[in-house]
Structures are given as C-alpha cells and as structure tokens.
Structure 1
Amino acid sequence: MGARHSKSGHRSKSSKRPAQPAASPAPGPSSSAAPHPSAAMAAQLAATLSPFEQRCVGSMLGKFCGDVLGAAVEGWDVERIRAAAPDGLRNFIMGTDRGDGCYTDDTQMAIALARSLVAGGGRCEALAAARAYADEYDMARGYGGTAYKILMLIRKEGVDEESLASLGTCFIPGGSFGNGGAMRIAPLGLVYRHAPPAVLREAVAAALRVTHVHPTAIDGAFVIALAVGYLATHAPPPAELAPAEAAAGSAAGDGGGQAASVSGLFDHLLAQQSLMETPAMVQKLQAVRSAVLQAAPLAKAPGQGWAAYFASGGWRAELELHDAVSEAFQIRADDAAAVALAALTFHWGRPRDAVVASVHYGGDTDTIAAIVGGMAGALYGVGWLPDRWLGVLENGNAGRDDVVALARQLAQFDTRS
C-alpha cells in the first residue's frame, strides 16, 4: 500500500512519552459473562439533548473516552496489550503519570477547533483555528516536538496571515504528513455535515494549515471529516445495548436520514476520491472496504468474549488488514484514517467494541481510539458510552461538563458554504 516512511520529523507526538501505568492493566471480566454496564449517566444526559445535540456530544465524549482508554498503552504492540488485557482493555487504566481520566493532545486540539468554530459562527477560519490551538495548548497533554515549536512560537510572537502562510513548513519542509489533523477534525465534520465536499475539504485545509499542509495529512483529515458528516446525518444500525442504554440511544440524524451502512459509508467516501490528492488514501479506502465486507461472517458475535475473539479468524482478519494499510505505529494520516475506519466498520453496530479493538491494534493507540470514538459518537450519540468511562473523565476546566456544553454549542451550526 505504498512506500514506508520514516517517522522522524513527522510524528505529531514525537516527544511524547507514553503514560505508564502504575501496574499492569487489570483485565475486567469477560464481556460474555459480564452484564452491560449501567448507562445511567448517558441516559440522564441524553434526556436533556436534542437528537443532533446527542450526535455532537457523543462525538466529543467518544473522542475523549477513546483518547483516555488508549493513552496508557500508547506505543505498545499488539502482543503486549493482549497479554496485559487478555479479556480486552475495556476499562481505563488508573495511576498513570498523566492522571486518571485525563486526555491528551488529541482531545485538546479537537476542543480548540470546536471553540474556534463556535466563535466563528460555524465557519472555519485558518487564523482563528491557529490562535485557538495556541490558546488551548498545554504541554502536559503530550504534544510532539513540531507542534510544540509552532504553538509556542504563536504564543510568543502571535500570528497573522503572513506568518501563518509559512508556519506549516517552517520546521518540516513540505509539511507534516502526520495524523495530527485527522485526530482533531471531528468537530468540523459535524458542523459542515451538509456542505458540498469541495467546501468541506477547503475547511479541513484551513483547520490544519498552521501545523499540517502535506497532502497526505489533509487527505486523512478530509476522509475522517467526510465520515463524521455521513455518520451524523444517518440513523444508526441496531446496536447491542442494554435496556437502559437503548432508552438513551441515538435518534436519527438531524434530517431523519436513512440508516447508515458499511457500504453506504465507503461509497460516500470513495465518491469524493477526485478531491483526494494522494493515490494511497484512495487505495487504502478501497482495501478497507473490500476486507471488511468479505470478513463480515467472521465478525465478533453478540456476547462473544474478547479472549475468544482474539483467537478467532475475525481478529486475524482485522490484524491482516491493519498490516496491509498501515505501519505498526499509525503516524501517517492515511494510515490512521484507514485503520480507524477498519475498527469502526469491523465492529459495525457495536461502537464500544470498535473503540476497544482500535486500542488492541497497538501503536498510536490514543489517536486511533480517539478518531474511532469521535466517529462512533457522531453515529450513535451518547447511549453507547458506559458509566465506567464517563464517570472517570476529568471534569475540571475544559473537562467533561465543559466539553458537553461546547458540543451543544456546535450543534447550533449547519455550515454549507
């Protein structure tokens, strides 16, 4: 699927040290034996939200939860994560250096982008986005070296249209091809859900201009934004939810669209391949579509425990697809987009399983799980998020409640031009 690339200089988190757990992850009970977790928090939250607010809140909180779940094992390989959590890493690891329930740069940059969209009346302006990233920036969230240099430069010297034009290439000639744009782009996909694809791509490029101008980075983020827009405007497929969760489940899209499908999602993405600058992105989408549809009979069965699934042909098919479209550490934006879509669609109708699977791929676990969580929330709303995740999320400044409020503001906008 194209040449392998060195990560040097292109890692969005090259200086990030993975948060180390105080002890090995304590695996929870097998999902085949354990009851569904209480969805009291999700149900109470959903009762206060309009249908599209559920999509926006679910996307932002899904990203937050995926980020936290994957952050403690970032950089681990498949075998190490499976050995530490043979029944699936389904609970947050406590006692990490970062702090319990704390997100990384993946969520922080999405929050900053969302703030800039709200402040701009639903429109993405490159200069406003750049300033928002710098304002929100917190080194402790695990930013990479290049992002650190750019955002600190903005903090010290400010930024205007003239300086913005060169920031994306001032430290990496040609710009970064990393996944830092794809990881943050979900809020834009929500707001631009009905925009013509060419308008969406222009907005994506604006959102990334300060840090990622390489065509690979823009293509990866564009694909995720397209996916979020599709998912947010279609009814979810049936999901495995306990009664309490079903009561809090997602309503149909704000336009009452038809049910989302795996084929429909990939048809939507591939219909815009003329707007993708890199053949590799198109090839990877085609590969994921083909593999997921062929492997449908091998999908994780309702109630099947992770230990059993890890020994199955379905899991082998997931890992084979991962290796076909991505390096082990999914730093390239097209790798990250392809792998995230694979996790979501391999576990279609089971959003929680999709996030857990994405972590078990290893590599850039927080980023991939954050992207999957953001897409899953756009489709399923908040009803799939368990208390064991929601209840642990940090809740200070820019924490869980603030993210909910920000997502509700995002839901007010429907930018089409």
Structure 2
Amino acid sequence: MNSDSALNRAQIALEGLSVGDALGGFFEFAHTKVPARVHLRQVPQSPWHWTDDSQMAASVFSVLRQTATIDQDLLAQSFALHYERSRGYGPATRAILGRIQRGKNWREEALSLHQGQGSFGNGGAMRVAPIGAFWAADLSSVVQQAAASAEITHAHPEAIAGAIAVAIAAALAWQARQTTLPSPNRFLQLIQPWVPASQVAEGLVMAIQLDSTMPIATVATHLGNGSKISAQDTVPFALWCAAQRLSNFEQAIWLTLEGLGDCDTTCAIVGGIVASYVGLEGIPSAWRAAREPLPAWAFAEELAKPIG
C-alpha cells in the first residue's frame, strides 16, 4: 500500500483501529479470567469480530474515499444504512440511527439527548483516527473535520473535544514518521493546544503529568478507562497509552488492555493512532489475519446524496 496519499493514510489508520477494536472486544469489561490472559498475552482464536467502532469508522473512510471531506449528510446516511445492532452500539446511538433510518433529521436527533446538549459518549472519538491520518499535514482541517464527524451522533462539547484530541493524535503520529520519535510526554503536549477547553482537555493535562513508570491500574484510576463510556473517561487514558508505546503496535495494545474497562473502544483509539506511526507493516500480520475482513462496501459503495 502506498502510504503517501491521504486516503491510504486513512486506510492504515482504519486497519489499526479495527484490529485494536476486534482484539479489545474479547476483553471488554473484564471478568475474572481476563487479567491473567492479558498478563500471559493470550490472544483469542480467530476470527476476531470487530464492533460498532470499526463499523462506523468504515463509514468515515467510505465518505472520505468518495468526497475527500466529511460530508455530514452522507456520513449520517452511511451510519444509518450500515447499522447492525449485533455490533454492540450504545443505546443512544441505536436510537439516533433508528430515527435517521425513518427519515428524521440527524441534526435534530443528535441534539435531542441530554436536555439539548447531545451525547458526551466516546463514540465520536472511537471512529475518528482515519480523519486525523487523512489530514495529517493540516491540523486545522483535522480539528474541523473531526468535529463535523462527531456531531452527527455525539454533539456534546465533551464528545467533540474527545474526537478532536484523537484525530490530532493520529495526525501527529503520522507527522512523527518524518521526524524524531517524541517522548510520551512531548507527544501529549503536542496534542494539548488543539483540544478545546473541556474535561477531556483537563484529563489530557493530568495525563501529561503522569509518569511513564506508573502502574497502568493507577493510571486508570486517575484518567478512567472508558468504564463510564464517556469521552472524558476514555480519551485521556487512550492517549496516554498510545503515547507510551507509539512505535510498537503490539505493546501499545497490550498496555491498553491491562487498563481493562471499555477495551474495544480504548484499543480502537490506540490502534488507529499507533498504526499512523508504525504503518501497515507495524501491525502484527497474524492479528490482521485473525480480524474479520473489513466491510467491502467501505471500498466500493457509492452513496446517494441525501435529499433535503
């Protein structure tokens, strides 16, 4: 794969995101055997099925492929068209996508949650890494496009801040390929100026202050691990994990899994960011083979322009 073009960069981020998502799904919200399996680095048998994280990220990639921008109406249409309940969507997203399928306006539906503020869940952040990779050379566009992608289902300022932070991280990871690998703290510091004032931003400040030698359970105590399914409880932790192991995909995912919690989403975020640094060749080939194939429609489908 030619990694120089914007679309190929986005596809590599999608690959990393989906591998992290599919592996993380086996460890999500740990039962008693999971910590031991993570400690022993025991991967499950294939196939590894990806979740709504990858399904929605595939829609992001599909729209980028067709339009080279985040056309919000097309993206809303794709989210609704490819909604599969079995992929593990959250209840708020299920409700919004169901109403979009019935012809409702996504703008009204996204703002109908939480007394008109919109959802602050982690769904906008989990699917956004391909956007950061696509616009890796233009961080202002990363911010704009990431926000636009989140608004469709997660319109709350915290969710938008989380999406921006992850997208910027993916863009900076790609930029770092051309320079010197930044230290973990420096990588997080580079993200910080782009994140709007929010609890997500405050969590990022805390993440910068945490030492790299700190036990991951302690890190999760300070930053969260996605257990609350909110952007502010998910993104700072995932960014900290990605920063610690930016040059090693496998180590980054295992470190994230050690934090337990919403593992499919935290690993999807970390996988998309780290893949943007290590490239396709840096994702373990056995892991890519174990993950179920990405949906063919993401690479072939042409969506009709929504009416109205």
Place the TM-score, normalised by the shorter chain, in its bin.
0.7 to 0.9
Relative distance call for 1:72 and 1:287 in structure 2 (3 A) is same
Aligned to 1:319: 217
Structure 1 residue ranges without an equivalent (≥5): 1-47, 95-99, 236-256, 299-313, 407-417
Measured after TM superposition, the shift of residue 105 of structure 1 is: 0.1
Amino acid at match of 1:49: N
Question: 8 Å contact 2:124–2:159 — kept in the other structure?
Answer: yes
Q: 1:391 aligns with which of 271, 289, 298?
A: 289
Aligned to 1:65: 19
**In the aligned structure 2, how far is the partner of 1:327 from the partner of 1:51?**
33
Aligned to 2:306: none
Amino acid at match of 2:78: A
Aligned to 1:136: 82
Q: 1:290 aligns with which of 209, 214, 234?
A: 209
Write the deviation string for residues 91-124 of structure 1: whole angstroms up to 9, x where unpaired: 2345xxxxx221100000000111112222x111
Aligned to 1:82: 35
Question: 8 Å contact 1:72–1:93 — kept in the other structure?
Answer: no
1:184 aligns with 2:121: no
Which structure carries more helix by proportion?
A: 2
Relative distance call for 1:196 and 1:83 in structure 2 (3 A) is closer
1:117 aligns with 2:64: yes
Q: 1:170 aligns with which of 90, 112, 121?
A: 112
Question: 8 Å contact 1:82–1:88 — kept in the other structure?
Answer: no
Question: 8 Å contact 1:137–1:151 — kept in the other structure?
Answer: yes
Highest relative contact order (Cα 8 Å, sep 6+), 1 or 2? 1
**In the aligned structure 2, how far is the partner of 1:226 from the partner of 1:330?**
23
Question: 8 Å contact 1:105–1:143 — kept in the other structure?
Answer: yes
- Aligned to 2:221, what secondary structure does the other structure show? helix
**In the aligned structure 1, how far is the partner of 2:38 from the partner of 2:142?**
39
Aligned to 1:258: 179
Aligned to 2:190: 268
**In the aligned structure 2, how far is the partner of 1:134 from the partner of 1:328?**
25
Aligned to 2:305: none
Amino acid at match of 1:76: A
Q: Which structure is larger by alpha-carbon Rg, 1 or 2?
A: 1
Aligned to 1:22: none
Measured after TM superposition, the shift of residue 219 of structure 1 is: 0.5
Root-mean-square deviation (Å): 2.3
Count of aligned residue pairs for this structure pair: 297
Aligned to 2:231: 333
Amino acid at match of 1:119: Q
Aligned to 1:304: none
1:205 aligns with 2:205: no
Measured after TM superposition, the shift of residue 378 of structure 1 is: 0.6
Aligned to 1:9: none
TM-score by length of 2: 0.88
**In the aligned structure 2, how far is the partner of 1:72 from the partner of 1:63?**
15
Q: 2:270 aligns with which of 360, 372, 393?
A: 372
Question: 8 Å contact 1:57–1:381 — kept in the other structure?
Answer: no
Structure 2 residue ranges without an equivalent (≥5): 301-308
- Identity among equivalent pairs (%): 24
**In the aligned structure 1, how far is the partner of 2:228 from the partner of 2:270?**
13
User: What does 1:92-107 correspond to in 2, within 5 Å?
Assistant: 92-94=44-46, 100-107=47-54
Relative distance call for 1:136 and 1:347 in structure 2 (3 A) is same
1:277 aligns with 2:202: no
Question: 8 Å contact 1:347–1:354 — kept in the other structure?
Answer: yes
Measured after TM superposition, the shift of residue 54 of structure 1 is: 6.3
Write the deviation string for residues 219-253 of structure 1: whole angstroms up to 9, x where unpaired: 11100011111111221xxxxxxxxxxxxxxxxxx
Question: 8 Å contact 1:59–1:374 — kept in the other structure?
Answer: yes
